[in-house]
Amino acid sequence: MDGSPTDFGSAYRVLSGAVIPRPIAWVSTHNEDADNLAPYSFFTVASIDPPIVVFAPVGRGDSLKDTPRNAIEHGEFVINIVTGDLVEAMNQTAATVDSGVDEFEHAGIEKAESTVVDAPRVADAHVAFECTLHDTIEMGSSTLVFGEVVHVHVADNVLTDGKLDTTKLDAVGRLAGSQYATTRDRFELTRPP
């Protein structure tokens, strides 16, 4: 069957169900009241030079949730990569809580100081990208938040010879609804010349 996205349910359902797995940006921010931590599965690398990542929360202007609003107002944030050992904690930060609630404390997650930005990072994250706000674009019902990676934290246990080893990083990706996937099932494919 061919047709518009709504012919298959909703645009959200068909897009989020077919573009899988999606990496999860576990975004931490800081404001005057509390530290914020929330997962976003509309996330990817946008540029290598300069190193830019982007996450796309639903909401615009006054309807933005705490995480994107803090990132925009304070000009910085941290993207923590979700791995299998952190997936339950990540899920706790998806809960709807009042503004001003410290979501690290709410979910029992240990904070670590960042090196360049004021926003904290998840202490147990195997990879964390400290970012300064590069740009935002309002698109439809969402706001794309672009961050320039200014510092990277990589745990020793996911390194081989000083380089990130993807076979050691048990990253978790979002599928649709309450379904997730890991990167444990891997294979290699040689690119043709």
Split at pLDDT 50, 70, 90, the class of 1 is: low
Domain boundaries defined on the chain: 24-173
Average pLDDT value for residue range 44-73: 94
7-29 confidence digits (pLDDT tens): 777 788 888 888 889 999 999 99
Radius of gyration of the chain measured on its C-alpha atoms: 17
Of the CA atoms within 13 Å of residue 53, those in its CB half-sphere come to 26
What's the pLDDT score for residue 172? 96
What's the pLDDT score for residue 24? 97
Phi, psi torsion values for 85, nearest 5 degrees: -75, -10
Residue 62, C-beta contacts closer than 8 angstroms, at least 6 positions apart = none
Topology of 24-173 in CATH?
Pnp Oxidase; Chain A (2.30.110)
Of the CA atoms within 13 Å of residue 185, those in its CB half-sphere come to 4
Which pTM does this prediction carry?
0.92
Looking at per-residue pLDDT, the higher value among 116 and 187 belongs to 116
**Consecutive H or E run containing 11:** helix 11-18
Taking the mean position of all CA atoms in its chain, how far away is CA 136? 16
